[in-house]
Chains A and B, each alone.
Chain A
Amino acid sequence: MDTPADTARNLLSGYDPGGYFCELFGNAANPADHARQIRDRIASFDFADLRQRAHSAELELFNLGITFLIQSASQAVDRILPFDVIPRVISAGEWANLEAGVVQRVTALNLFLKDIYSDQAVIKDGIIPADLVLGNPNYRPQMVGLKVPFDTYIHILGIDLVRDGEGTFRVLEDNGRVPSGVSYVVENRNLMQRAFPDLMADIGLRPVDNYGPRLLNAMTEIAPATAGEPQVVLLSPGAYNSAYFEHIFLAREMGVPLVEGRDLVVEDDIVYMKTTDGLARVDSVYRRLNDDYLDPRAFNPDSMLGVPGIFEAYRKGNVALANAVGTGVADDKAVYAYVPRMIRYYLGEDAILPNVETHICREAEGLKYTLDNLERLVVKPVGEAGGYGITIGPRATAEEIEDCRRKLLDDPANYISQPMVPLSVCPTLVEEGVEPRHVDLRPFCITGKSSWVLPGGLSRVALRRGTLVVNSSQGGGSKDTWVLTGGPGR
């Protein structure tokens, strides 16, 4: 292994991954030879220069308004997602495997959704417990018997991957409702191209700038056949949504109107938008609203953000929705545990991307194991998102462990547990120099007629020393993710 100590005194010479798998160095068994050239360039940077460029980059993010809203007690504050300038690098070979794994997974999840909203063979064949699916709050009986174009339910999927101590990518979570973060993938690259042309020169990177056209293409494919070019829109909850920047970004990249519920009306089961020239028909909606808020007539009647009647228009086939209604049952944290079996059931293949070992507390065996090993496990509520409500056993106080035990006994079905994955690290610029910080990876996959995976994905980084939680709501940042076009792979 090309250890940092081997090189002359430079920016990476004091770097120690601390026993974790490192995204730029690999480990002893699997050294990351593909990243050598990039490592050498980073090592040769002057620390002050690097910090200066990092500072300019963050200022640029702020000036461009690439921000998300954080709700504090009294007000909403515009924040940038902290950006780390040291990229995370994936070899061409690693990527080929990841890409195949993501496509395999989205294919199985779409087959699963088609199945549970029609024949329910997967339940009848005993692959997954009926109540886990049919009793799931995100299961939408209104979808039963409804045919969707190309049998695609999850048009946009984000899969949260982590890399364990051996360097194996594992799936931590599926995001099949309204996954966010892709705007940062593209903007991070734009930023790196401006701030570090010298770092990426002649490296050979897969581009990420065609996400918008790909998404528009899928939205057009699924539109009902009407006269002329289909009118695609992006439906946003509005400026106070924390992901509003991303809605703007995607509408812009696709070149379609960014609408809110108040801009749309449904008449005779046709969806229209209000324009300066009267009502204009809408054919295809990329909605960034959860099912609950989509249509007060069909779902939560209190929703002020949705479009009354849009679900009926959808049922009649007069408008396309992406993602389809009712996909939340497929990305549920409890259903997640069954995905490898689904892949085998529907595709007759082993999962290319393994899950993290998961114990389902609704099952007696899983609960017992979890209770017996609380100090070693990460316990997660199945309904929450954004890293909330998690108990990390090895980091928890005795009091927190007991609190977690009480909650588990109270409502076991609400929890799963997993061993603590020793998340891989990546060299990251901090106050004192360059230090290892834990990262994850969220690739994005678009599916219309067929599936396409954006090369790379969002690398989130836990900026606080030692922490494993990478969520932006918990103080995480992001890095540019470089997928190499060639060179040595693994």
Chain B
Amino acid sequence: MKLLSRYAECIFWMARYMERAENLARILDVHETFDRDSRGGKQWEPILRLNADETRFYEFYDAPTAENVIRFYVLDENNPTSIRYSVRAARENARTLRPWISTEMWTQINVFYNHLSGLGGRDVETQRLSALCAQVKEASQTHTGITEGTFYRDQGWYFYQLGKYLERADQTTRLIDVKYHLLLPSVAEVGSPLDVSQWNALLRSAAGYHAFRRVYPRGMTPQAVAGFLLFDQGFPRSVSVCVRTVNRFLTELKSRYHLRGGDPALEVLDEILAVLISKPIDGVLADGLHLYLDWLQIRLADVAGAVGTGFFGWPATSVAGSQKQTA
């Protein structure tokens, strides 16, 4: 059956926003639960820098207190990088897609959104944040499971996977960046017990500790963790696995459905893959991890932009792969 361009776009964004909600919860959770500076205190401002949200934040809030930042990222519907915003956007897309998706997919997202929209200030106090993040992760994973079990696998399913894995690749780069932004360690602190425990926390927030231990039974260095999250071929959240998955689904859209709109996006993916393969983690760290992650984020956005131009009818001149749905 033919797929409306607008539907393809809605599927792509529904997947992105659900994936984003899960990753936002992961980032907040790791921050709240583990990250402390060397004095044991907690800073919330770096998390704003992570998403380049400072300007938007200070429009509505005066100070980056725990309360304000958490509210901003969990409840604030004006903030396009908040959990509630993401789930609402996923729900709006799912609503449009009701004729295309299973009733179970729709109902779960609808109930999830209704639950979130009923939350108030007290539900996001710091002592409850971890439980709330767990809820969000679980709801997103429930969505993933229902989708796996009920979403009909024609070309629409491929656009779902494209959205999901592009978003996940992007979010993993941001998760690694948390570490960079939050606590830029002095040379002396690199490899210190505190430094290592923070990398450990990061791995756990991506549910990657056990996976890491398969590859590295002993020890934990920043190089090994960053390299694992970027390049590992078996870890489902690594940037490399996500990018390869996007590449595979775009190729299959072409071979199975004869859709050629993905060619420009495949070219960008080739470039990303070449970089991922050619530069080992030591080189990445030596040149600057943050710059590398920035470059990845920009090129992933270019892939999304090319998918939009090729399939959704976005004008070729549109801001490449905006993080936010416009239509």
A interface residues, Cβ below 8 angstroms from B: 62-65, 231, 239, 248-249, 251-252, 255-260, 262-263, 273-277, 280
Residues of the B chain whose Cβ atoms lie less than 8 Å from the Cβ of A274? 4-6, 313
Please give me the 8 A-B residue pairs with the lowest Cβ-Cβ distance, nearest first. A251-B99, A248-B98, A252-B99, A275-B2, A280-B2, A276-B311, A274-B5, A65-B110
Pick the interface stretch among B123-131, B164-172, B174-182, B253-261.
B253-261
Residues of the B chain whose Cβ atoms lie less than 8 Å from the Cβ of A273? 2, 4
Partner of B110, one of A64, A231, A255: A64
Q: Tally of A-B residue pairs with Cβ under 8 A?
A: 68
CB distance from B143 to the nearest CB of A (A): 15
Residues of the A chain whose Cβ atoms lie less than 8 Å from the Cβ of B4? 257, 259, 263, 273-276
Task: Point out which of B8, B98, B103, B261 has the most chain A C-beta atoms below 10 A from its C-beta.
Answer: B98
The answer to whether residues A277 and B257 also contact, given A63-B111, A65-B107 and a CB cut-off of 8 A, is yes
Residues of the B chain whose Cβ atoms lie less than 8 Å from the Cβ of A252? 98-99
For chain A, what secondary structure do more than half of its interface residues adopt (helix, strand, loop), or is it mixed? mixed
- Could you mark each residue 91-116 of chain B with 1 if its beta carbon is under 8 Å from any beta carbon of chain A, else 0? 01001101100010011001100100
Task: Point out which of A239, A256, A257 has the most chain B C-beta atoms below 10 A from its C-beta.
Answer: A257
Residues of the A chain whose Cβ atoms lie less than 8 Å from the Cβ of B5? 263, 274-276
Tell me whether A276 and B8 are in contact (CB under 8 A). yes
Task: Point out which of B8, B99, B257 has the most chain A C-beta atoms below 10 A from its C-beta.
Answer: B99
CB-defined A-B contacts under 8 Å, sample of 12:
A62-B114, A239-B95, A239-B96, A251-B99, A257-B7, A262-B6, A274-B5, A275-B2, A276-B2, A276-B5, A276-B312, A277-B2
Tell me whether A248 and B99 are in contact (CB under 8 A). yes
Tell me whether B98 and A63 are in contact (CB under 8 A). no
For chain B, what secondary structure do more than half of its interface residues adopt (helix, strand, loop), or is it mixed? helix
Tell me whether A64 and B107 are in contact (CB under 8 A). yes
Tell me whether A257 and B95 are in contact (CB under 8 A). no
Residues of the A chain whose Cβ atoms lie less than 8 Å from the Cβ of B92? 239
CB distance from B142 to the nearest CB of A (A): 14
Tell me whether A260 and B6 are in contact (CB under 8 A). yes
Residues of the B chain whose Cβ atoms lie less than 8 Å from the Cβ of A231? 2
Complexed CA–CA distance, A259 and B4 (Å): 8
Nearest-CB residue, chain A, relative to B109: A65
Complexed CA–CA distance, A262 and B312 (Å): 12
Q: Decide yes or no whether B155 CB sits under 8 A from chain A.
A: yes
Complexed CA–CA distance, A258 and B98 (Å): 9
Tell me whether A63 and B99 are in contact (CB under 8 A). no
Tell me whether B99 and A257 are in contact (CB under 8 A). yes
Complexed CA–CA distance, A192 and B114 (Å): 23
Nearest-CB residue, chain B, relative to A65: B110
Residues of the A chain whose Cβ atoms lie less than 8 Å from the Cβ of B2? 231, 257, 273, 275-277, 280
- B residues 1-22 touching A (CB-CB < 8 Å): 2-8
Nearest-CB residue, chain A, relative to B159: A276
CB distance from A258 to the nearest CB of B (A): 5
Nearest-CB residue, chain A, relative to B9: A276
- B residues 229-259 touching A (CB-CB < 8 Å): 257-259
Complexed CA–CA distance, A275 and B95 (Å): 19
Tell me whether A277 and B98 are in contact (CB under 8 A). no
CB distance from A249 to the nearest CB of B (A): 8
Complexed CA–CA distance, A64 and B103 (Å): 8
Tell me whether B106 and A65 are in contact (CB under 8 A). yes
Tell me whether A263 and B95 are in contact (CB under 8 A). no
- Could you mark each residue 303-314 of chain B with 1 if its beta carbon is under 8 Å from any beta carbon of chain A, else 0? 000000001110
Complexed CA–CA distance, A62 and B113 (Å): 12
Nearest-CB residue, chain A, relative to B3: A276
Residues of the A chain whose Cβ atoms lie less than 8 Å from the Cβ of B311? 276
CB distance from B282 to the nearest CB of A (A): 42
Nearest-CB residue, chain B, relative to A248: B98
Complexed CA–CA distance, A97 and B312 (Å): 51
Residues of the B chain whose Cβ atoms lie less than 8 Å from the Cβ of A239? 92, 95-96
